[in-house]
Amino acid sequence: MSYEYTKKIAKYYDQRAEGSTDIVSAAGQWTPKELTSEICDEISSKINFLNDEKIIEVGSGSDVLGKHLRTKCKFYVGIDISNSMLKKSLTETNEKINLIQAATHALPFRDGYFNTSIMNSVGMYLRDEGLLKKTVLEMERVTTKKGTIFIGENISPSRIYWEYTWFQNLNSNIQLLAKYYIKIRINLAKKSIFAGKWKEYYQEISFNLLKKIFKDRALIKMTDAAAFSIRKKHFGKNAQGNHRVDFLIKLK
């Protein structure tokens, strides 16, 4: 895992936090902003918390989800690589909250300390080879046996096309051609140093990839991402935005 790449991620989030006016804008993924509370409720209902649980959020960002999670559990810790994001977490609260600056693949807790580990809208940024797997295994390590891991808002290989705003604005016939174009450009970007902006493709997370990581140690359920589900509920076929997925992982 590249130290330089970790610094790059931290710098990206530092810039986002410093250029935003509130914690929702700093986080970036909560769209539309008016549905943030409802999206957080949807995530909670998927995980089905118990009040005495200890929860760690990996990549806690500006505390949008963390603020909600603390009402659902006994003990919460937020981990983030960006110092600016952690500072932003304190701007809209008077609570004493547990925040730690750390990398996703090196969590500073003992084995089995938490009942639930959560990582929402972070996986797509873990593009460095092996970093995603190391992060997931760290989440498993700090989670108790028969505990829960929630990995939310993931880019699915079958829905990668919806990551591009211009694609969403095309009519259905042209979208069929655009799918092949995007697939070819991403594959070329993985092999060529002359790929331009296409070199910065996001990490895709599939059901099969997680099955490969966990083997027979967990039961994995894939559903539409909470934000996507809530947008569909309100706007139906006119719902805008990415078509991502959530993974609920029950350890054995």
pLDDT band at 94 (very low <50, low <70, confident <90, very high): confident
Residue 13 binned pLDDT confidence (cut-offs 50, 70, 90): low
pLDDT for the residue 55: 97
pTM: 0.89
Query: Does the structure show a pLDDT above 70 at 12?
Result: no
CB-count burial class (<10 Å; 0-12, 13-18, 19+) for 222: middle
pLDDT for position 45: 94
Residue 12 is encoded by which pair of tokens?
A: 């990206």
Mean pLDDT of 171-179: 93
Number of neighbouring beta carbons within 10 Å of residue 137: 12
Strands of the 54-58 sheet, one edge to the other: 98-101, 75-80, 54-58, 114-120, 143-154, 245-251, 218-224
Q: Can you tell me the distance from the alpha carbon of 120 to that of 104, in angstroms, rounded to the nearest whole number? A: 12
Instruction: Determine the Cα angle at 121 with ends 116 and 123, to 5°.
Output: 85
**Element containing residue 201 per DSSP (H, E):** none
Considering only CA atoms, which of 43, 42, 55 is closest in space to residue 147? 55
Residue 39 — pLDDT band, cuts 50, 70, 90? very high
CA distance 198 to 114: 38
